[in-house]
């Protein structure tokens, strides 16, 4: 995980906006399971709603299932027609 990549990751930036826990994502690998580091299901729902709001596209069940890692969030955002972040 490079600092340049993680600092600009759309998924990481979105998580930082939604989850106010200082330092939580500082050393977190992009493939780490967010549930194991303290993100709860309610925060994942907020994340899904934020993605839908920004992209204007409802998430499919398959996409929802990938939101447990920063890599997964980045893939969903990259596949969206446009991200209004």
φ, ψ of residue 76 in degrees (nearest 5):
-65, -45
The CA distance from 16 to 79, in Å, is: 21
3-79 placed in CATH 3.40.50.1000: no
**Burial of 52 (C-beta count, 10 Å sphere; 0-12/13-18/19+):** middle
Dihedral angle, C-alpha 12, 83, 59, 48, nearest 10 °: 40
- Tens of pLDDT along 1-39? 444 444 578 999 999 899 888 788 888 899 999 999 989
* pLDDT value, residue 68: 94
* pTM to 2 decimal places: 0.82
Q: Would you kindly state where each structural domain of the chain is located, as residue ranges? A: 3-79
């Amino acid at each position: 995980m490079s600092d340049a990549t993680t600092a600009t990751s759309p998924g990481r930036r979105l998580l930082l906006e939604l989850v106010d826990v200082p330092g939580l994502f500082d050393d977190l690998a992009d493939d780490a399971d967010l549930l194991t580091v303290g993100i709860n299901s309610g925060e994942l729902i907020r994340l899904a709603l934020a993605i839908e709001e920004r992209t204007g596209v409802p998430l499919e069940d398959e996409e929802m299932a990938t939101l447990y890692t920063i890599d997964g969030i980045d893939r969903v955002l990259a596949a969206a027609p446009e991200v209004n972040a």
